[in-house]
Amino acid sequence: MPRIDAHLHVFTKVTPEFPREATPICPAEREEPVEKLLDVMEKHQIDQAVLVQIGGTGIEHHSYLLHCLNRYPDRFLGIGVVPINHPDPTEHMSELSECTGLIGFRLFELGGPRDIFETKDVREIKAYHIWKCAAEKDYVLWLYPRSIDAHLLPYLIQEFPQVRVVLNHLGMTPGKGKFTLDELGRPQIQVSGYNLNMHTTYRLARYENVTVHLSGQYAFSKQDYPYKDLAGMHHNLLNDFGSKRLMWATDFPWILEEPGYGELTSVIEKLLPNLSQRELDDIMGGNAKRILRFPNRNT
Amino acid sequence: MIRPTPEQKRQWENEGYLVFENAIQGDELKRLQSTFDFWAAECKDEWLDKVETGDAAATFYDIPNPLEKDTIFIDIIDHPSYYGALMEFTEDDLILLGPQVRTVAPFPVSYTAWHPDVGKDSPLHIKVQIYVSDVPAKGGEFGFVPGSHKPDSGPYQRPLLQESMPGHKTFPGKAGTAIMFNSCGWHVSMDNATDEPRKSIILIYEKRTSGRIGPTQFASISKYCTTPERRRLFSLPE
């Protein structure tokens, strides 16, 4: 069974060849290239990975991601980003995905009515056309929506049951103003002590096309590795989604310094110690291979 | 005070719930409904702000501090329709933990999983759910597994689909219906397939244990608690 890191980021310094937006988390001079990733993957026996776009939503901002996918077609699959307000999302998604190894798109917003009790016509949700395109082209949707959009997810998932949906980072939906960077430059998400996801994203387990990342623990936990305060959340996700619909990921490079890539390769065993070997293998890569359709590696 | 009948006592012991139809009715029900609607509308924007910042669940909301907003919310705490049963089952040593004056969105926004509230070794923990509007079948009605409160029952597992829970019973009802249940039993709010939010009030009680509720918890409504019985119920100094 391959071991697959199902969500991480690589990027170079801002260059004419690989333009991207400079942000506090990705300043212009910082680089975390694919070669560095391959080194740590090799060291820790990780076979393949999902590279997720960072550094902008424009076609040109995806240059480095596409370069990596082209150079290592049997090691990586890619997730691009499509802006919610794009005038022609179908064209954007097609241009990025045609013969590139890019299999889907990440969304941070869904764009529906703020009033949760408002009767909804799913076609009026801004992200509707992106979901429709994903359904028609068999793209994966990679979701990390805002809290205020969480209630829209089941409408879209019901409308498009054929779309493979991957909820990022424990299915969390960050609140407005709750994102900061810690002293190591890692994302930190302030979450309520009461697990609100129990009411919002866990219910999505009833939809068979929904999968959840077991990742991003460092950003939500109030404890050091192995983030035991999140063990209950992991157990609930396992109970609701089952071991066939969970995917392990590291969120490289934010975890390189603390706790370290190697530590994260055993975080699932520490948080879910009662998993059988088969279940662990599924979460550590088998599910990503099956659901995301990873190619076999060239030997 | 109306004490439960022998038949009601048997049902409570064996099945863990009682239903009081028309527990609240007539003008009292109308006043409860209009007060509920007024404050639910007043408090909605504040709730949506909290949803946006990740500080509130996006599936239902409660009117904050309802006891301070209208005396009708105090008067239903020791309502004669079910207060006698509460007292009987707690050997006349009942305390209020709090009310939840709750609006729940229709499915697919709202979804609750089957659960017990407390373990079987906890002090007797009782909830009374009052329907403020009619709650039809598949309209977010209360669901309960009769007998699941008993020490030797179970073990139970949370099913993926609510209707798959073995042995469960659902409780559609008219506005004013009150359902009392032992909350160490497995229960749920069934999916609401209608277009209307479910409006209900959930009153949470327990058999008194020392220090469970402090004397300041309900101090803000002290002036409305003038009888010794009510002051004991709200854990206020006598």
Token pair 């090691």 in the structure block, residue: A75
Question: Is the CB of residue A211 less than 8 Å from the CB of residue A242?
Answer: no
Question: Is the CB of residue B154 less than 8 Å from the CB of residue B192?
Answer: no
Q: Which residues are A105's β-sheet partners? A: A80, A141
Note the pTM of the prediction, 2 decimals.
0.88
Q: B51-70 pLDDT, tens per residue?
A: 999 999 888 999 999 999 99
Q: Which two tokens stand for residue B189?
A: 């709010």
With pLDDT > 90 as the criterion, what percentage of chain B qualifies? 91
Spatial separation of the C-alpha atoms in residues B50 and B45, rounded to whole Å: 9
pLDDT higher than threshold 90 for residue A203: no
Question: Is the CB of residue B192 less than 8 Å from the CB of residue B140?
Answer: yes
Q: Average pLDDT over chain A, rounded to whole?
A: 94
Q: B106-133 pLDDT, tens per residue?
A: 988 887 889 999 999 999 999 999 999 9
Spatial separation of the C-alpha atoms in residues B129 and B127, rounded to whole Å: 6
Q: Using beta carbons and an 8 Å cutoff, which residues of B are at the interface with A?
A: 44, 48, 51-60, 103, 105, 108-113, 158, 160-161, 195, 197
Shortest CB distance from B51 goes to which of A116, A178, A206? A116
Question: Is the CB of residue B193 less than 8 Å from the CB of residue B138?
Answer: yes
Spatial separation of the C-alpha atoms in residues A154 and A167, rounded to whole Å: 12
Q: How many residues does chain B have?
A: 238
Residue type, A249: A
DSSP string, A230-287: GHHHHHHHHHHH-GGGEEE---TTTTTTTT-HHHHTTHHHHHSTT--HHHHHIIIIIH
Residue A123 contacts B where some CB pair is shorter than 8 Å? no
Q: Which of B37, B51, B188 should one mutate to test binding to chain A, selecting the residue with the greatest count of A CBs within 10 A?
A: B51
CA angle A229, A232, A234 (to 5 degrees): 100
Q: B163-206 pLDDT, tens per residue?
A: 999 999 999 999 999 999 999 999 999 999 999 999 999 999 99
Per-residue pLDDT at A299 = 65
Spatial separation of the C-alpha atoms in residues A298 and B92, rounded to whole Å: 75
Spatial separation of the C-alpha atoms in residues B94 and B230, rounded to whole Å: 10
Question: Is the CB of residue A117 less than 8 Å from the CB of residue B37?
Answer: no
Contacts of B57 in chain A (CB under 8 A): 196, 198-200
> Residue A234: exposed, middle, or buried by beta-carbon count in 10 A (0-12, 13-18, 19+)?
buried
